[in-house]
Amino acid sequence: MGVSVRRATDAIPPVVALGIAILAVSTSAILIRYSSAPTLVIALYRVLFTTVLLLPFAVHSYRDAFYQLSRRDWIAASAAGVALALHFALWFESLAWTSVAASVTIVQIQVLFVASGAALFLSERITRRASVGMMIALCGIAIMSFGGTIVGAPTVGAAPLYGNILAIVAAVCMAGYVLTGRSLRQRIPLVPYVVIVYGVCVVVLLALTTAVNDTLFAYPPYEWFLFILMALGPGILGHTVLNWALAHVESSVVSVSLLAEPVCSTVLAVVLLSELPTRFTAIGGAMTLIGIIITSRR
């Protein structure tokens, strides 16, 4: 069973996998906004339910893979789990203070940290074309995030600056997660890797939730339904598929491709949350897509 699944996944073009992951993760901000639970609780149950869904398959088909991991692999995967937990905690909280468009776009400056880290630690070369594409995409993000503020246009969110700062720090954590995953996914099967990472992520988020005394169980059925949707969509089809892609393409390409997430999330926010984008969002979104196309054609 495990062999057949691996053959099936290996037959999937990386560009298709990235497309699926981007569309799935783009629903994350919308689902978070729909929930009234504390952001740490939302993050905890999203990752917990994702892990629960993957665990039976991991135990059944990849049991031997866990025993073959070295101590160094366990430590690195655990570090990735910690980075992912911090990313979720900070980014989910940012959505409570700033707009969907701003939060989801600003967090994508992780591409700068990923590209720099990949060149420094993973010996991945950044081509001139990729550099140009990345700069265009980042300029688009800057326009989407800060254009309105510069000209004094109305902003969205209770404390946009605070939310934007949280998103920036979340981007740093996400870059660490992506870089660690890139090196490990070269030699570790997808399912064992994500189960370990998500498991550590759950432990960290549970510790943070307990530390701030957030309620763990007193939520209506609607909230639990949202938690499960987050696990199936952004969790399984989003981050898990993204981890599969890390074994087949360079981490900088994955990160730049994820710059499409702000555009998709903004469109969903218009339709589902009535959060209308400004002209800066439209211009910046177009630039972001152009940057992604240039960078991906390598």
**Residue at 8 is within a domain:** no
Q: Count up the domains in the chain and report the number.
A: 1
Does 180 map to a domain? yes
Task: Give pLDDT, residue 129.
Answer: 78
Q: Give the separation between CA 181 and CA 197, rounded to whole angstroms.
A: 9
pLDDT of amino acid 8: 45
The one-letter amino acid at 59: V
Q: Which residues of the chain have pLDDT under 50?
A: 1-9
User: Looking at residue 290, what is its pLDDT?
Assistant: 79
> What tens digit of pLDDT does each residue of 98-120 get?
888 878 877 877 776 777 777 77
Percent of the chain with pLDDT over 90: 26
Domain assignment present for residue 6? The answer is no
Torsion angle of C-alpha atoms 13, 101, 137, 254, degrees rounded to 10: -30
Instruction: Name the residue range of residue 184's domain.
Output: 16-296
* Residue 122, pLDDT score: 65
Residue 5 lies in a domain: no
pLDDT at 273: 86
pLDDT of residue 7: 47
Instruction: Give the chain's end-to-end CA distance (angstroms, integer).
Output: 34
CB contact at 8 A, 2 and 62 = yes
Give the separation between CA 155 and CA 69, rounded to whole angstroms: 49
Give the per-residue pLDDT at 188: 77
